């Protein structure tokens, strides 16, 4: 399933910002009831495959309401919800955690006010609901590796079990890597490695992985899957439901969760100025109900339900994140480092994505030298080191400078980022000099 705008038939209704209600599977309603059906206006970034299924099922369960769709990408959603009367939106439902937190600071939400019985507060170290009661997680996606088994076999590579496996020389040129400054799901992926291994070692891991990358994704969420499915790359870094959709459609791929993973959650919230708060709560209740949670396990959607009881009714091979969390797989605490995500994404882009060819060349030289028994430890250490410290990345002033950067908005680099890029270029020149001095 691609996280792209709704299909062509839905585009016509999006021109008005709204979606027509799906035909009800229940008995026909009277003309008076149809006239009295109250709209519930839902702002989302889900595509039509997801929304239309919820639309039909919700309106069957709650025939007094009709869903109306407003489709916006995350950076567009913030702008709309900051308009007068919040653009007429009743419910915001999207996989954009930073949006929910940022808008909560603006006072955009009212208390969710729904029954959360049977829904856990946490998975591993990750919170599944807002501590102030304004929003809650409705489903999850997990980070990991989509692999082409045939390509790995051809390269005589074992499937990776964790991020550090991808630093090995055998993966050189065979990884597709997303740019976290341009691809919405990727900043958390970068940060979870930094949190799992520590700031210094985490950046060393990312430097080596980026040096092994054969292609870079700056164009969208499904590019990684497409590259691996085509055989152009053996492995890609992504989230599970993009891989699941390709696999469900026959692609000869596998998805693997590393020992250190994290979740990309979707949340739901009711706007402070909702015109139909009762309908909004009915929809939120439905999404979190057993019926709603079963919808997201459809083969064309394949998300991870947030209601644990659902997994008992799923096939044995359907990944259960709650069981994995018992093994420490989901120890990433997104709340602890959320404020630095924009800083991390920008730093990653300027130091490991820009002038990527130079980075690749330097890592190839290091791998060749080490294979020949040469001591190039100083060059490796310089290439692995982060450009700024964890303390600098946590500075409120620096985080504030990047706070306004909206998710997925593809911003232009500012003065500080250009300084980072220049410093990174200077550092790579130093690495090259050290390697040359060692005859590498």
Name the 3-class secondary structure at 177: strand
Predicted local confidence at residue 16, as pLDDT: 32
pLDDT mean over 257-267: 94
Predicted local confidence at residue 409, as pLDDT: 53
Across all residues in the chain, what is the average pLDDT? 89
Domains of the chain in start order, with CATH, are 8-141+264-325 (3.40.190.10)
Q: How far apart are CA 324 and CA 50, in angstroms?
A: 26
Name the 3-class secondary structure at 133: coil
Name the 3-class secondary structure at 7: coil
Number of C-beta neighbours around residue 120 at 10 A: 14
Is the pLDDT at 19 greater than 70, yes or no?
A: no
pLDDT digits (tens, 9 = 90+) for 106-149: 999 999 999 999 999 999 999 999 999 999 999 999 999 999 99
User: Is residue 80 within a helix (H) or strand (E), and if so which, with residue range?
Assistant: helix 74-81
Number of C-beta neighbours around residue 334 at 10 A: 21
pLDDT digits (tens, 9 = 90+) for 176-190: 999 998 888 899 999
Q: Under 8 Å CB-to-CB from 25, ≥6 apart: which residues?
A: 56, 60
Predicted local confidence at residue 10, as pLDDT: 39
Q: What is the DSSP letter of 169?
A: G
Q: How far apart are CA 115 and CA 117, in angstroms?
A: 6
pLDDT digits (tens, 9 = 90+) for 400-420: 888 776 554 556 668 899 999
Look up the pTM and report it: 0.85
pLDDT digits (tens, 9 = 90+) for 357-400: 999 999 999 999 999 999 999 999 999 999 999 999 999 999 98
Name the 3-class secondary structure at 82: coil
CB 166 within 8 A of CB 160: yes
Tokens 């130091």: give the residue. 351
Q: Under 8 Å CB-to-CB from 223, ≥6 apart: which residues?
A: 176, 178, 217
User: Percentage helix, strand, coil, to 5, in the chain?
Assistant: 50, 15, 35
69, 239, 241, 308 from 2: Cα distances, Å:
18, 12, 9, 25
* Token duo for residue 184: 């919405």
Residue 91 CB-half CA count within 13 A = 31
CB 122 within 8 A of CB 128: yes
pLDDT digits (tens, 9 = 90+) for 198-246: 999 999 999 999 999 998 977 666 789 889 998 899 999 999 988 887 8
């Amino acid at each position: 399933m691609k996280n792209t705008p709704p299909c062509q038939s839905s585009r016509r209704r999006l021109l008005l910002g709204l979606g027509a209600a799906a035909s009800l599977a229940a008995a026909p309603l009277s003309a008076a009831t149809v006239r009295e059906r109250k709209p519930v206006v839902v702002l989302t970034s889900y595509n039509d495959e997801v929304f239309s299924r919820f639309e039909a099922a919700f309106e069957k369960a709650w025939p007094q309401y009709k869903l109306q769709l407003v489709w916006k990408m995350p950076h567009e959603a913030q702008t709309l919800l900051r308009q007068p009367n919040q653009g007429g939106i009743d419910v915001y439902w999207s996989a954009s955690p930073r949006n929910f937190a940022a808008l909560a600071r603006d006072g955009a939400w009212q208390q969710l006010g729904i029954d959360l019985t049977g829904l856990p507060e946490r998975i591993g170290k990750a919170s599944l609901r807002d501590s102030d009661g304004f929003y809650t997680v409705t489903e999850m996606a997990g980070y990991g590796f989509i692999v082409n088994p045939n390509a790995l076999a051809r390269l005589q590579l074992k499937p990776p079990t964790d991020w550090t496996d991808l630093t090995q020389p055998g993966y050189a040129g065979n990884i597709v890597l997303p740019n976290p400054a341009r691809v919405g799901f990727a900043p958390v992926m970068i940060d979870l490695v930094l949190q799992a291994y520590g700031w210094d070692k985490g950046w060393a891991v990312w430097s080596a992985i980026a040096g092994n990358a054969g292609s870079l994704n700056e164009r969208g969420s499904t590019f990684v899957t497409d590259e691996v499915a085509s055989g152009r790359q053996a492995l890609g870094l992504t989230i599970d439901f993009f891989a699941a959709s390709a696999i469900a459609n026959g692609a000869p791929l596998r998805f693997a969760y590393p020992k250190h993973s994290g979740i990309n959650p979707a949340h739901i919230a009711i706007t402070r100025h909702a015109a139909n708060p009762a309908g909004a709560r009915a929809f939120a209740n439905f999404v979190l109900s057993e019926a709603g949670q079963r919808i997201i396990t459809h083969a064309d959607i394949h998300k991870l339900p947030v209601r644990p009881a659902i997994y008992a009714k799923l096939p044995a091979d359907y990944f259960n994140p709650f069981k994995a969390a018992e093994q420490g797989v989901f120890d990433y605490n997104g709340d602890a480092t959320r404020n630095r995500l924009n800083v991390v994404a920008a730093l990653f882009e300027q130091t490991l994505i820009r002038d990527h060819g130079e980075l690749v060349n330097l890592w190839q030289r290091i791998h060749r030298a080490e294979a020949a028994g040469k001591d190039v430890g100083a060059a490796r250490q310089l290439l692995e080191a982060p450009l700024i410290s964890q303390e600098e990345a946590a500075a409120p002033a620096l985080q504030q400078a990047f706070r306004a950067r909206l998710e997925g908005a593809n911003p232009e680099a500012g003065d500080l980022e250009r300084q980072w890029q220049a410093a990174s270029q200077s550092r790579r020149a130093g690495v090259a000099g050290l390697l040359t001095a060692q005859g590498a």
